[in-house]
Structure 1
Amino acid sequence: MAAEEQAKEVAQQVDVVAETSKVIDKVSNMDLNAVLHDWVIPYGTKILLAIAIFVIGKMLARGISKLLGKAALASTKDEMLQSFVTSISYFLFLLIVVIASLSQLGINTSSLVALIGAAGLAIGLSLQNSLQNFASGVMLLIFKPFRKGDLIETGGMTGVVEEMGLLVLELRTGDNKTVLIPNGKVFSDSIVNYSDNKTRRIDFTFDVSYESNLKEAKDVVARILADNELVLKHPAPIVAVGALAANCVQLVVRPWVKTADYWTAYWGITESVKLEFDKAGIVIPYNQMDIHISGNTASELNNELNK
């Protein structure tokens, strides 16, 4: 048996050598013009055309996607929609260019398209969260609850909208940190847009001691609001007693300002109220506890301390 196997191996090696020698003889006997005509020119032309299709197609894809993005910006005035349309259209056009280039090389693109579809289905099943974020991004662009540059609160974060990508929303917080929130979380969560309206109301609550003059305190606050240029006359600001708390009277103050002036007015009014209250002798109480001790208990406490 061992001799038969060795004989088969030797026979196979002889066949390989024979075939190799035939190929070498055929190549050595080939005419150079035949090689150029049958191989170099046809396949070289296909390769060059495929490269040309890819390069030119990529340039056209980039140019067309930018035009579509500009058209979206012109029709909606929404920079986030422009970025979204530009990105997705460039990806789709580039995919078409790649298929056209491979088709020029003689590759069966119909099977390739089927393969891409199957791969897309498999990837889609494995990336359900990413597809959810993508779909949420599309819905956010359609409903437009905010625009680039708006101050919003969503997903437990507050910041200025910098950009909305295919999968995430980029916010810049007040302390200049960049926060990325998945679009799915943004769309499923509540969205508070602080920049959508031109005016905002500031809600103050000032505590006034029961021993202080309440009417004078209201007059001081009303005068501060009237003298502040950032406070709007319409709607008129409100100064009223909100509650009689355990250790103070609570004044609720509701002035209206332009949205851009919100924090400047908030800080300025807060400081002015404190300074004017001090001038008028109006006390802003702080939490304290009064302990009353009966006579017998006081005597016993003194005796214990004197021991």
Structure 2
Amino acid sequence: MWTFLAAEEPASLIVPDSVQKANLAEAVNKIVNMDFSTLFGSLIRESLWILVKVLIALAIYFIGRWLVRRFLRLIDVAMQHRNVDISLRSFTRNTVSAFFTLLLILIVVSTLGVNVTSLIAVASAATLAIGMALSGTAQNFAGGVMILLMKPYRIGDYISAQGQSGTVRDIKLFSTVIATADNQTIYIPNNSIATAIIDNYSTSETRRVDWTVGISYGDDVDVARKAVLSMLAADPRVLPDPAPVVWVAALADSSVNLSIRAWVKNADYWNVFFEHNEQFYKELPKAGINFPFPQMDVHLTKE
């Protein structure tokens, strides 16, 4: 039995010469009798149809982009007429733009003949996987919505949050853009800033300026107070109500620390702060007020 199988198996794999010749003749006959004019005509028709679909898709894309821009302008005008907050206008514009751009891309892809249903299913599965990997992105979007609802700050406000200080330039879908005093652009994720402690210096029209000035022990506090108040009274940016005050804040190791407080408009805060710092340094010595240096009294005893 083993000898019979060994002999029969190779024989079944051998194709007779007559069959091979017949197959070769049939293949050659097909190539010789091929209608190249019909083939080229079909290729040309298919190429033209693909070109037409591409041109239609491009036309839909550019017309759609134009329509989206026009629609966004109409939204801006409508919200501006209704005095909608600028932060909400920016966020709404970005959201609507992203939605219609995605819709336009789906229409263009469908025009090219791609099965959009299958594409959406694949995209949904991919979005779910990416969303699980990038859950922070969804949290940032939710944080942006919370910022717009709670309004802890608006575009144009000067804030301090997450260790950064600057003017809010834009509230995007996933981040807040602030510009620092030295013109750096900082992007803070909305999720982190929405749950952080925020110092908003622009919510009130006025702001208090505080200085701490140390004078020497033995100097007349009343003279120092009068000199400081006269400097502040001569500055029109310092508000008369509430009136500026000068108090003795602390009796430090080598100085008597004066706490000086004055109210100004928000826009004048830093200019008043720095300019009067310099003015105190220049003018107080003319009134007989000295600025002490740290010192230590050493007593020697003779044994």
TM-score tier (shorter): 0.7 to 0.9
Structure 2 counterpart of 1:91, which letter?
Answer: A
**Is residue 7 of structure 1 aligned with residue 15 of structure 2?**
yes
The answer for the alignment partner of 1:239 in structure 2 is 246
CA root-mean-square deviation: 3.5
Partner Cα separation in structure 2 for residue 88 and residue 11 of structure 1: 69
**Is residue 155 of structure 1 aligned with residue 162 of structure 2?**
yes
Partner Cα separation in structure 2 for residue 55 and residue 138 of structure 1: 31
Percent identity over paired residues: 36
Give, in angstroms, the shift of residue 254 of structure 1: 1.0
Secondary structure of 1:202's match?
strand
Identify which range, 95-104 or 182-191, moves more after superposition. 95-104
* Pair 1:43–1:27, CA change in 2 (3 A): farther
Give, in angstroms, the shift of residue 104 of structure 1: 3.9
- Normalising by structure 2, we get a TM-score of 0.81
The answer for the alignment partner of 2:5 in structure 1 is none
The answer for the alignment partner of 1:121 in structure 2 is 128
Structure 1 counterpart of 2:15, which letter?
Answer: A
- Normalising by structure 1, we get a TM-score of 0.80
Give, in angstroms, the shift of residue 260 of structure 1: 0.9
Residues 1-307 of structure 1 aligned to structure 2 (within 5 Å) = 1=9, 4-5=12-13, 7=15, 27-28=35-36, 30=38, 48-76=55-83, 78-296=85-303
Give, in angstroms, the shift of residue 219 of structure 1: 1.4
* Pair 1:4–1:280, CA change in 2 (3 A): same
Secondary structure of 1:153's match?
strand
Q: Between Structure 1 and Structure 2, how many residues are aligned?
A: 294
Structure 2 counterpart of 1:206, which letter?
Answer: V
Give, in angstroms, the shift of residue 44 of structure 1: 6.4
* Pair 1:18–1:163, CA change in 2 (3 A): farther
Identify which range, 72-81 or 167-176, moves more after superposition. 72-81
Partner Cα separation in structure 1 for residue 221 and residue 155 of structure 2: 46
Structure 1 counterpart of 2:124, which letter?
Answer: G
For structure 2, the 5+ residue unaligned runs are 1-8
Partner Cα separation in structure 2 for residue 12 and residue 148 of structure 1: 82
Partner Cα separation in structure 2 for residue 158 and residue 70 of structure 1: 31
Please say if residues 206 and 250 of structure 1, whose CA atoms lie closer than 8 Å, have aligned partners that are also in contact: yes
Partner Cα separation in structure 2 for residue 271 and residue 284 of structure 1: 13
* Pair 1:190–1:30, CA change in 2 (3 A): same
Structure 2 counterpart of 1:7, which letter?
Answer: V
Partner Cα separation in structure 2 for residue 62 and residue 179 of structure 1: 27
Give, in angstroms, the shift of residue 130 of structure 1: 1.8
Structure 2 counterpart of 1:190, which letter?
Answer: I
Partner Cα separation in structure 2 for residue 101 and residue 2 of structure 1: 58
Structure 2 counterpart of 1:186, which letter?
Answer: I
Partner Cα separation in structure 2 for residue 263 and residue 113 of structure 1: 54
For structure 1, the 5+ residue unaligned runs are 297-307
Structure 2 counterpart of 1:141, which letter?
Answer: L
Partner Cα separation in structure 1 for residue 206 and residue 24 of structure 2: 88
* Pair 1:264–1:97, CA change in 2 (3 A): closer
